[in-house]
Structure 1
Amino acid sequence: MDASKAAEQNRLWNVDVAARYDTPGMGMFAPEVVEPTVRRLAELADGGHALEFAIGTGRVAVPLSECGVDVSGIELSTAMIDQLRTKVDEDKIPVVNGDMATTRAPGEFALVYLVFNTIANLLTQEEQVECFRNAARHLSPGGRFVIELWVPELRRLPPGLPATVGIADPGYILLDTYDVLQQHVVSHHFHFGEGTDAELHRTPHRYIWPAELDLMAQLAGFTLEARHADWAGTPFTAESTSHVSVYRLP
């Protein structure tokens, strides 16, 4: 990722976003979301070291570390790293500031993982392929690369319209706009307070079909070991809205 793209990502994931990112006990921080994730990752690490790409504020890394797994991270946003440091210090969870497609963290790992759709933050196919190759560079033989990713919801697009409503809660609306030619989607997050004003935060993504993801894995030397609809191991079907895919090196 070049300097201009890195600067744009730091603008998106800035101090204000990092400060309100954590929602302890709720949303993606709810125990029923975090605990199955941590349990499955601990199983896949199998006593080895784990590396989280785009570690963020440590939503998964902190409880995984508390389970006894040695965790390191790579994170592009300095604001997110600063927020993580309010929870654990560098000795407990070391983090390298950089791009998950190219940055090298010291050491060799049994597990590299990417959660909550974060590979889609890389906005080109080339960068996403490089992310797989970077994971392979960090892994010991037989190591695993795990990705949690949503299935593109193109079937929900109204005829002739480029947008879907993902969430419509009293204080929050999520609207996704699609560019199906470029495989790009922009998530528009509208947050409402007590008055008439609303706050808008946009995040761009490049969506990936499962079959395309598998081809990226093959280019980096991985084979698909398992795919489920969630961290609890629910079977993946044509109706699944997300998947947890486990890739393995020889």
Structure 2
Amino acid sequence: MVDQQRLWDAEVAQSYDTPGEGMFSDDVLGPTVGVLAELAQGGRAVEFAVGTGRVAIPLRDAGVQVVGIELSTAMVARLREKASADRLPVVEGDMTTAHAGEGFALVYLVYNTISNLLTQEVQVECFRNAARHLAPGGCFVVELWVPELRALAPGYRGTVEVSEPGYLLVDTVDTLQQLIVSHHVRFDPEITGSREARVGRSPHRYIWPSELDLMARLAGFELESRWADWDRGAFTGESRSHVSVYRLPAQS
């Protein structure tokens, strides 16, 4: 069992935010917040694995009341440097079991984070916990990457996902268990402070879109929409990721 507290420790939390760049850029956050605010329809929202508040803080600024659930105390501490508990409450705990209340209009889980849950069983429990938080007719939004197994050469169990100056991302794949370990290799002396490379590893369980849909059905959801991105681009066989919107039945 992976110790998520050690994986998402103070060092990671302090280096997580990249204001204005990457996943913190306006080009990424603007469409994300816009879609989530629309889906909330004026109601309250819960973010599973709220992290340092990358999405929750601008969504709150957009007028949506947000409660976070987060397992890592270090990530919560970093969030608290930016938003008070009154403005953005956080329940510390596992997103498969922690409870932040009931009657929410929206639960969301972004940036591939459901893959941090390393078995199918606990991934299904994440869906069930989302359902417990929602009012009838509420929706659960999941952002997730599509496994690039076609990039695996015969006889090989790994792919180079990113290769750029000072950084290399190599994924090793266990297709039997649907597990990927991402190896983040940093070797820029200006960043690492050393001529030696630093390696960080994070494990993930990948989920095919059809498997994700079945998990949703087990928890009482129906797939409402699936896009390739937060701009609502068409999802195709070539899409590298998807944003999936699942909805509970409304009361009759």
Report the TM-score range of the alignment, normalised by the length of the smaller protein. over 0.9
How far apart are the structure 2 equivalents of 1:199 and 1:92? 37
Structure 1 runs, 4 residues or longer, greater than 4 Å off: none
Three-state SS of the structure 1 residue aligned to 2:34 is helix
Residue number in structure 2 paired with 1:231: 230
What is the CA distance between 1:176 and its match in structure 2?
Answer: 0.5
Three-state SS of the structure 2 residue aligned to 1:149 is strand
RMSD of Structure 2 on Structure 1 (CA): 0.9
Question: Is residue 75 of structure 2 the alignment partner of residue 80 of structure 1?
Answer: yes
Mapping for residues 124-135 of structure 1, pairs under 5 Å = 124-135=119-130
How far apart are the structure 2 equivalents of 1:135 and 1:166? 31
Residue number in structure 2 paired with 1:103: 98
How far apart are the structure 2 equivalents of 1:57 and 1:117? 15
Mapping for residues 193-212 of structure 1, pairs under 5 Å = 193-194=188-189, 195-212=194-211
Partners of 2:102 and 2:135 within 8 A in 1 = no
Question: Is residue 143 of structure 2 the alignment partner of residue 144 of structure 1?
Answer: no
- TM-score w.r.t. the length of structure 2 is 0.95
CA deviations over 1:180-218 (Å, ceiling 9, x no partner): 000000011112222521211111000000000000000
Three-state SS of the structure 2 residue aligned to 1:231 is coil
How far apart are the structure 2 equivalents of 1:154 and 1:78? 34
Partners of 2:167 and 2:186 within 8 A in 1 = yes
How far apart are the structure 1 equivalents of 2:91 and 2:20? 27
Q: Counterpart of 2:150 in structure 1: which amino acid?
A: R
Partners of 2:102 and 2:132 within 8 A in 1 = no
How far apart are the structure 1 equivalents of 2:185 and 2:54? 22
Question: Is residue 25 of structure 2 the alignment partner of residue 30 of structure 1?
Answer: yes
Segments of 5+ residues of structure 2 without an aligned counterpart are none
Q: Counterpart of 2:97 in structure 1: which amino acid?
A: T
Q: Across the two proteins, how many residue pairs are aligned to each other? A: 245
Q: Counterpart of 1:90 in structure 2: which amino acid?
A: A
What is the CA distance between 1:107 and its match in structure 2?
Answer: 4.0
How far apart are the structure 1 equivalents of 2:24 and 2:200? 20
Partners of 2:107 and 2:140 within 8 A in 1 = yes
Residue number in structure 1 paired with 2:6: 11
CA deviations over 1:88-115 (Å, ceiling 9, x no partner): 0000010000000111112421000000
Residue number in structure 1 paired with 2:246: 247
Three-state SS of the structure 2 residue aligned to 1:203 is strand
What is the CA distance between 1:173 and its match in structure 2?
Answer: 1.1
Residue number in structure 2 paired with 1:157: 152
CA deviations over 1:91-140 (Å, ceiling 9, x no partner): 00100000001111124210000000000000000000000000000000
Q: Counterpart of 1:197 in structure 2: which amino acid?
A: E
How far apart are the structure 1 equivalents of 2:22 and 2:165? 15
